[in-house]
Amino acid sequence: MSNLVQTRAVKTAPAPVWMRSNALAFALFLFFAIAPALAQLGAEGYLLSLVMRVMIFAIAAMSLDLILGYGALVSFGHAVFMGFGAYSVGILMSHRITDFFVQLLVALGVSALFALIAGAISLRTKGVYFIMITLAFGQMAYFFMISLGAYGGDDGLTLRMQSQVFGQDLLGHGYTLYYVIFAAMVGVYFLLRMIVGSRFGRVLRGTRENPVRMEAIGFHPYRYQLAAYVIAGTICGLSGFLLANQTEFVAPAFMTWQRSGELIVMVVLGGMGTLHGAIIGAAAFILLEEALYRITEDWKLIFGPMLVLVALFARGGILGFFRRRK
């Protein structure tokens, strides 16, 4: 009798968290993989552009989730790395340097360098002081780009072409750009998942919970937080590189503090500390923006109260809400 009860208990036990997480990630990636086929049923160009934008911002949101969700570092200057990635394409393109790999290397290098400098200074403070210093770095970079009249200034810079691969316009053919963005998103997801699951990730989470205790047992929180900040900034630079190729336009608006706030909203909306939550949050934010903008230009007046309701009744974001419903 006892064996029968145990057997039934095993059969009705919920799936482990890691299994549900893998299943959700697989479902998300499957949808993005087949989206071009689904888009052929409707306005293909518009739908593909929308989904590519979702994936690009999902990359940026996942990079922010590394320091916000796992490191408890609230950065109001994270979008500056997206701007550096985009301007790396635009500025090099204006000087006739069109190679995909050269532009990508510069985008990642500039983003990493700025993250190292800004992080080395910002991380010497805590709490609201950290927030204000990251905001200050972001605004400095924003106004610097506005001052560059040779590259469009406040009006931005229109790209005359997409990045060239070995001198060929491969990104403009078929769904090439779409699947480059898709591959980048999947690669970033698994890279960050590997980082979070490693010893480095465990120490980073430990510094979030109790930095004093982590230092007492021999770890240096500052070093781990700085490394995470540089990794996050570099990955966000990748999203800017892809955004420039997708829109064929770059502007200082890519790196405003409002854009940084939107990235924070995406992470919180989907669920902090869950990489697939950042993907869901990015998709929810962009799709809601698109739908509400069709109703009114002041769509944020509607979105704001919706976000408040999520904060009050869906602790842990969208993922947290559905987990509690099970």
- State whether residue 251 is helix, strand or coil: coil
Q: Residue 164: beta bridge partners?
A: 99
The string of pLDDT tens digits covering residues 176-219 is 999 999 999 999 999 999 999 999 999 999 988 888 888 888 88
Read off the pLDDT of each residue in 150-167 and give the average, rounded to a whole number.
Answer: 88
Would the pLDDT of 11 be above 50?
no
d(CA 184, CA 169): 19
Range in 152-156, 197-201, 244-248 with the lowest mean pLDDT = 152-156
Q: Where are the domains of the chain?
A: 51-256
Taking alpha carbons only, the member of 269, 283, 232 closest to residue 58 is 283
What is the mean predicted confidence (pLDDT) over 157-178? 86
Asked if pLDDT for residue 130 goes beyond 80, the answer is yes
Contact in structure between 163 and 98 (CB atoms under 8 Å): yes
Amino acid 280: pLDDT:
92
Q: For 258-282, what is the mean pLDDT?
A: 91
CA distance 247 to 239: 12
pLDDT at 20: 61
pTM assigned to the model: 0.90
The share of the chain scoring above pLDDT 70, in percent, equals: 91
Write a three-state SS string for 183-223: HHHHHHHHHHHHHHHCHHHHHHHHHHHCHHHHHHCCCCHHH
